[in-house]
Amino acid sequence: MHGTTVSRIAAAVGLSRGALYKHFPSREAILLAAMDLMEERPVGWVAQSSGPDVYRRLLDMGDRHASWASSEFETFIHPLFEFIAAGGQGSLSREMGVRQLRVLDAFVDLVETGKREGSINPGVDSGDVAWSLLMFAWQRMSPG
């Protein structure tokens, strides 16, 4: 990510470069740890959703996500776009793709559970529903 140096990261978190290197062996390791945190959020939405069935859990996720997205645009989406757009970063771009697919898989698994329990139409494509949920999330996170 252009301009992201260990010195800038250390200053942003209030540590010296040396202290940061005690926890992370490299700049890439720091960025991978940031990606891990960003992956945990949407997977957490699935785990924290509530309702008597998957359909209502999905509605709950949407309701909670909408307010979260509007308050966290700068702390989550802006860095996510940076990771996605970090072409040429080699493994970072690949790792971002891996993490995004894991989030999609978590959503697909939830939809499949809803099909089995009868709250989601068994004829719908689970991948299409999962992508639609992610598109909703991205739309809600767009500025404006």
> 42-92 pLDDT, tens per residue?
777 777 888 888 888 877 877 776 666 666 555 555 555 565 555 555 677
Q: How many contiguous H segments (helices) and E segments (strands) does the chain have?
A: 7, 0
Establish if 84 belongs to a structural domain.
yes
Q: CA 105: distance to chain centroid?
A: 12
Is 20 a member of any domain? no
Torsion sign across C-alpha atoms 103, 64, 47, 28? positive
Instruction: Look at residue 41 and tell me if it is in a domain.
Output: yes
Overall number of domains in the chain: 1
Residue 11 falls within a domain, yes or no?
no
- Judge contact between 17 and 6, C-beta under 8 A: yes
Is residue 12 included in any domain, yes or no? no
Which range marks the domain in which residue 96 is found?
27-141
Whether 10 is covered by a domain: the verdict is no
What is the phi/psi pair of residue 86, to 5°?
Answer: -80, 50
Is 39 within a domain? yes
Average pLDDT, the chain: 77
Domain-located, residue 118: yes
> For residues 111 and 72, which has the higher predicted lDDT (pLDDT)?
111
What's 55's domain CATH number? 1.10.357
